[in-house]
Structure 1
Amino acid sequence: MCNDYRLKVDIASIVEDFEDLKIKSRMPEGKPNVPARDDIRMTDMAPIVRSVEGERGVGELVNRRWSWPGNHGKPVYNFRTEGREFKSHRALILADGFFEFTDPPVPRPKDKRLDKWLFTMKDHDWFCIAGIWRESPAGEAFTMLTMDAGPDVSPYHHRQIIPLTRDQWVDWLDPTVPAKEVLRWLPEGSLQVAQVYGAPPAQQVLL
């Protein structure tokens, strides 16, 4: 499952896009310091927009830790959606790409790394991933929600995180909207995929 994603878009552009969608992004802790990041990994701090109870179209832009400690201390960085309603503590996770990893089709005995694939949104520079947040022994933290993989991701993994279309953002921030009405696959072809590790540069392809 996704344990690595990317955000290289500046906060000013993100706030402007929220405003265009009539979503108020409050900053109760001040403007987050969000340097461009090629790789955001478990336990890293990263920006999210969390829901505000009782206020539709409003979110709080804050920096929080990705993953909270689960059983035996293992980080909970992904969370299954099946059978759950998520009636509070919803969050939009800001990203401009996420990564999946696959075994190389031809083994590389001297290189144990997996092939790395970058997924980006075809029609937008950045997007939001459906998530939730909670209090934890490590402080407030967030996790990405998952479901069975749709057509764009299934060639690489049987599960996927859930990128949301822009018209879904306000509904995900509103816990009165049933989760099943928001959490679904993007239309086929919405995500574009590029191999970023595992093949010589001349062989890297955009699928």
Structure 2
Amino acid sequence: MCNDYRLEVDIASIAEDFDDLQIKIDMPEGTPNVAAREDIKITDMAPIVRSSEGAALGELVNRRWSWPGPTGKPVYNFRSEGRDFSSHRCLILCDGFYEFTDSADKAQKRLDKWLFTMKDHRWFCMAGIWRQYDGGEAFTLLTMDAGPDIAPYHHRQIIPLARDRWADWLDPRVPAADVLGWLPEGSLEVTQVFGQPPAQGALAL
């Protein structure tokens, strides 16, 4: 499951792309102060666009990745199957995400790290939801069974959304089943990067 992703694209470029797609977003808390990061980890603060009840379709804000689950472990992934998500939807901004596999070199005591990027776009959005918790607000990444680009690396995957699905995901009137799905085979490119073990002690629901 995805417990590490990347965002190195500046917020100005992201806002410009939303404008080009005619997706109106507000920044109710001001422009998020976001530094380029090769690794965004569980419990980090990161930018999302959450659905809005105002004139804009979404709000660009900084929020924590994961909220504490019943046992206190952070909920960083959330199964999408059988759920409609009629509220609290969000888009998680990224330009790549990572998966880990056992190293082909059995002598290595680490996992191989693989970076997935979108073939035709510099950055993209992953489907998520957000909620309030005692410490404020947080988001989690939705998951589904792995599609053809990710299945060789993991049996589950997060849900990258094509650009023509972003507005629909922010609109709770659009059924989740009409939005969430695999990208066409070949949409994602994968590159092996330096390996490291994934974070432990987290909860994927």
Please classify the TM superposition score into its range, dividing by the shorter chain length.
Answer: over 0.9
2: distance between equivalents of 1:152 and 1:138? 36
1:182 maps onto 2:179 in alignment? yes
After superposition, give the CA deviation of every residue in 1:26-70 in whole Å (9 maximum; x if it has no partner): 000000001000000000000000001375x61100000000000
1: distance between equivalents of 2:151 and 2:87? 29
2: distance between equivalents of 1:101 and 1:138? 30
What 5-or-longer segments of structure 2 have no aligned partner?
A: 196-205
2: distance between equivalents of 1:65 and 1:42? 8
1:29 maps onto 2:29 in alignment? yes
1:136 maps to what in 2? 133
1: distance between equivalents of 2:53 and 2:75? 24
1: distance between equivalents of 2:135 and 2:42? 13
2:203 maps to what in 1? none
2: distance between equivalents of 1:79 and 1:137? 19
Counterpart amino acid of residue 53 in structure 2: E
Question: Following TM superposition, by how much is the alpha carbon of 1:151 offset from its aligned partner in structure 2, in angstroms?
Answer: 0.1
1:172 maps to what in 2? 169
2: distance between equivalents of 1:113 and 1:175? 41
Counterpart amino acid of residue 26 in structure 1: D
Q: Is the 1:53–1:88 Cα contact (8 Å) retained in structure 2?
A: no
Question: Following TM superposition, by how much is the alpha carbon of 1:116 offset from its aligned partner in structure 2, in angstroms?
Answer: 0.1
2:192 maps to what in 1? 195
Q: Is the 1:81–1:147 Cα contact (8 Å) retained in structure 2?
A: yes
- Out of 100, 114, 117, the position equivalent to 1:117 is 114
Q: TM-score, normalised by structure 2?
A: 0.93
Give the aligned CA root-mean-square deviation in angstroms: 1.0
2: distance between equivalents of 1:105 and 1:113? 10
1:81 maps onto 2:80 in alignment? yes
Question: Following TM superposition, by how much is the alpha carbon of 1:112 offset from its aligned partner in structure 2, in angstroms?
Answer: 2.1
1:71 maps to what in 2? 70
Counterpart amino acid of residue 172 in structure 2: P
1: distance between equivalents of 2:135 and 2:54? 27
1:152 maps onto 2:154 in alignment? no
Q: Secondary structure at the match of 2:30?
A: coil
Where in structure 1 do 4 or more consecutive aligned residues deviate above 4 Å? none
